[in-house]
Structure 1
């Protein structure tokens, strides 16, 4: 018999997640005899309390999540990532110097920046470097440092020393998760330290994250986001999510869906 009351139901959700690893909203709704919206509220509360972590598609998994590789992440939320990347690239003006973080969403911006006139791109990620490697119109510089193989990004003292000698018109940062109170979440402290420096050195800061990453706490390393920064997300974002970030003095930009996400930008 399903447990009565929200407290018992949420305790059972945690137990199920511990034993099976994953459970869908629909399965939980049917099992407990409540609506899907009730289950989603339960999951949101448990996520905020750090007891579970939401995964793409509405499933949940308990506990600290293993960091996935950039290849594993490449196809997760593909349409949303490219919609965000396109919107973000459209903010860049000719003649600017911009910083691109590591990661798949920020890296996808490279495809939309290849023809921007007199543009200088400084990057910490191999994904952006690959996208712009043969873009003759764009000056490309890499901050160097120690390569994190999972994220395909550079970190460490050499990367930090380079950033301390540069400033940027705009910085575009990725994230494993974003929380309105705590900021950008990453797997390692050296990643969050680098992101803090990136945000300090830029006139305008953008954090790129599709809606499924918002409100999560998969790891324990954080980089606070400065007031006035812009969170760029996709059309799956909820009004509650938007309000939570706006209360933290952030601007929320919702990237429109691509008309045909299968069509990549001309190169």
Structure 2
């Protein structure tokens, strides 16, 4: 278990370096709750693997930042996404109309909603559709269009035309990155246009993003945020990451993540 957790930490370090650029040893030590010497060993190993270039006090990614497939995302930050989805489900009231964006966190939310009654759920995500296929108490609406295979979700003018004929009580939106000053970062403009449309059609907007997605900009397409929205993240988010959102007047919800590791097993830094 310790080895698995160490490998997961190193994968997260490589991903953070790719999205942030320069990452300090001190920041990584605080984020992962391990010593600076453990982080330095991680950086040395990642450098030897050709994934990072060491700099004074930190690391710089050597790899381009391709868009991760949905299959890859399903394995990232699993506990955080489950905790965020569980909290988001508590905001939904039977009888409401809600719309779910694509992505792994919204797929987890769909699974949380499957036992609801008297609910209408529209979604662009195939994984959310799969989770709700046998939900007898839910009216499920698939917002079809052009399928983006990498994200297993629909985009384009057909999807937009369907959305323009609907309104929602709540919209739950995913993100590749989210910044207080720019909005939601995505791979292409079709995605950002669709997110803006979903948000404009809803009374309440929630952006579901675990801590590693806050303040990062892996791509160059942006969705502009509405005047009022709620950021839902997990307790890995640091005060420094949250401060810009709070200063901008965004409602911030931080959910606690339950550690699913068996008791008595601790990360030794191996």
Q: Mark yes or no: TM-score above 0.5.
A: yes
Distance 1:59 1:79 in 2: 26
* Dislocated runs of 4+, deviation >2 Å: 21-26, 58-64, 258-262
Whether contact under 8 Å (2:85, 2:109) holds in the other structure is: yes
Structure 1 residue 61: Cα displacement: 2.3
Change (3 A) 1:222 1:87: same
Distance 1:65 1:243 in 2: 26
Instruction: Please report the TM-score for the alignment, with normalisation by the length of structure 2.
Output: 0.75
Distance 1:64 1:191 in 2: 21
Change (3 A) 1:68 1:22: farther
Partner of 1:170: 170
Partner of 1:138: 138
Change (3 A) 1:181 1:205: same
The C-alpha deviation readout for 1:158-179, integer Å capped at 9, x for no partner, is 0000010000000000001111
Whether contact under 8 Å (2:235, 2:257) holds in the other structure is: yes
Change (3 A) 1:61 1:117: same
Instruction: Please report the TM-score for the alignment, with normalisation by the length of structure 1.
Output: 0.76
Distance 1:80 1:60 in 2: 25
Structure 1 residue 116: Cα displacement: 1.5
Distance 1:226 1:78 in 2: 28
Distance 1:225 1:23 in 2: 27
Q: Does 1:107 align with 2:99?
A: no
The C-alpha deviation readout for 1:231-264, integer Å capped at 9, x for no partner, is 00001111122221012221110112237599xx
Q: Gaps spanning 5+ residues in structure 2: where? A: 1-16, 30-34, 40-51, 53-57, 263-270
Partner of 2:77: 77
Cα root mean square deviation, aligned: 3.0
Partner of 2:8: none
Whether contact under 8 Å (2:102, 2:151) holds in the other structure is: yes
Partner of 1:125: 125
Q: Gaps spanning 5+ residues in structure 1: where? A: 1-16, 30-34, 40-51, 53-57, 263-267
Distance 1:61 1:236 in 2: 21
Whether contact under 8 Å (2:79, 2:259) holds in the other structure is: no
